């Protein structure tokens, strides 16, 4: 159950759905589009979208937003993330974990708002990445956009969100086709939080990459480019490889020092200056998203070299 968390992060899909909704909204209005628009009015906040949410979704969203709004509660949960959450992730991976380039991200991580963009192969990717940042001096709660199913429409999901992320898996992303317009709301909430100084960890591939080759990435979601263009925040690329999808198996691998090494490679903040000066449109957003994936792919090549060197040393007994 715990392992489902980061597999559901889908901000790229949310932003893409939001962009599609925006395009539809700007189309010429006809009698049919008027009716369709009435059915799918795009709320800017979850408060405005209350009628389209279940009572449990309203409770979960309201509760989690309140934890961010209260300075005292936010600090308590941030302390829990650093001293409880990050600590057990560290203990569960330290024997087989290798980190490269975290100093490249340190300045951006201290800024008022930034975005982490990482590839996605394991349920636990973002938890390990966040732990590394905490151990290097990062102190704030990192938002994890997460699928609404289970985490927001199930009482157990609420508990898991609290235990795993101390209520940082927010905002919810909706994949029910009848409620896709709520992703515009989720996107707006995320952008508002980022502009307010929050940080977020996002997988631009939009879903977990289940292919056999960890170095061949899925196409990026263009909506990621839109988020970067609108917030103009520092973007730190990350490549992570070696994590499994079984929590127990991962802990055993760490305890026995067997299995694949977990290698995390951080990159320098990506330079988007030429693209951020362009008008915000679909082409620009896609170019930004492609640049993100190019940066992550380059870090993948660096991770591959590191892994090859380590495996060569180990095979010779060095």
Alpha-carbon distances, residue 153 vs 56, 91, 96, 299 (angstroms): 6, 32, 36, 37
Alpha-carbon distances, residue 262 vs 242, 253, 292 (angstroms): 4, 10, 22
What does the pLDDT read at residue 14?
53
pTM: 0.84
* In contact, 68 and 196? CB cutoff 8 Å: no
- Which residue, chain included where needed, has tokens 């201290």? 110
Top-confidence residue, 317 or 66: 66
Fold classified for 2-19+42-315: Glycerol-3-phosphate (1)-acyltransferase (3.40.1130)
Residue ranges per domain, the chain? 2-19+42-315
- The closest alpha carbon to 218, from 206, 236, 227, belongs to 206
What does the pLDDT read at residue 41?
62
Q: For residue 112, what pLDDT band results from cuts at 50, 70 and 90?
A: confident
- Which residue, chain included where needed, has tokens 């941030």? 78
End-to-end CA separation in angstroms for the chain: 39
Distance from C-alpha of 50 to C-alpha of 286, rounded to nearest angstrom: 32
* In contact, 141 and 81? CB cutoff 8 Å: yes
Residue 172 three-state SS: strand
For residue 236, what is the enclosing H or E element?
strand 235-241
Helix, strand, coil share (%) of the chain residues, nearest 5: 55, 10, 35
What does the pLDDT read at residue 223?
86
* pLDDT at residue 75 is higher than 50: yes
Distance from C-alpha of 47 to C-alpha of 315, rounded to nearest angstrom: 58
Highest mean pLDDT among 9-13, 25-29, 92-96, 109-113: 92-96
Alpha-carbon Rg for the chain, nearest whole angstrom, is 20
Q: For residue 113, what pLDDT band results from cuts at 50, 70 and 90?
A: confident
Q: At what angle do helices 11-25 and 31-39 cross, to 10 degrees?
A: 140
Q: For residue 221, what pLDDT band results from cuts at 50, 70 and 90?
A: confident
pLDDT digits (tens, 9 = 90+) for 17-66: 444 444 433 334 344 444 444 445 689 999 999 999 999 999 999 999 99
């Amino acid at each position: 159950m715990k392992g489902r968390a980061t597999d559901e992060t889908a901000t790229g899909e949310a932003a893409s759905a939001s962009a599609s909704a925006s395009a539809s909204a700007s189309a010429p209005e006809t009698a049919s589009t008027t009716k369709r628009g009435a059915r799918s009015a795009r709320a800017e906040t979850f408060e405005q979208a209350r009628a389209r949410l279940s009572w449990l979704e309203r409770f979960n969203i309201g509760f989690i937003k309140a934890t961010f709004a209260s300075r005292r509660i936010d600090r308590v949960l941030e302390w829990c993330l650093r001293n409880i959450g990050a600590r057990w992730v560290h203990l569960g991976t330290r024997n087989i974990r290798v980190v490269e380039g975290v100093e490249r991200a340190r300045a951006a991580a201290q800024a008022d708002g930034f975005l982490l963009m990482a590839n996605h192969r394991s349920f636990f990717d973002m938890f390990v990445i966040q732990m590394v940042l905490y151990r290097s001096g990062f102190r704030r709660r990192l938002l994890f956009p997460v699928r609404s199913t289970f985490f927001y429409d199930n009482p157990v999901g609420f508990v898991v969100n609290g235990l795993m992320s101390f209520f940082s898996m927010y905002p919810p992303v909706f994949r029910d086709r009848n409620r896709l317009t709520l992703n515009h709301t989720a996107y707006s909430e995320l952008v508002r939080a980022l502009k307010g100084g929050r940080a977020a960890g996002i997988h631009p591939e939009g879903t977990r990459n289940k292919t056999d080759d960890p170095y061949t990435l899925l196409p990026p979601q263009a909506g990621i480019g839109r988020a970067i263009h609108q917030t103009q925040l520092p973007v730190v690329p990350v490549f992570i490889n070696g994590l499994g999808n079984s929590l127990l198996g991962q802990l055993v691998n760490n305890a026995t020092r067997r299995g694949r090494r977990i290698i995390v490679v951080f990159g320098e903040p990506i330079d988007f200056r030429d693209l951020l000066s362009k008008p915000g449109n679909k082409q620009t957003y896609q170019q930004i998203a492609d640049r993100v994936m190019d940066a992550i792919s380059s870090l993948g090549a660096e991770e591959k070299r590191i892994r090859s060197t380590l495996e060569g040393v180990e095979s010779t007994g060095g």
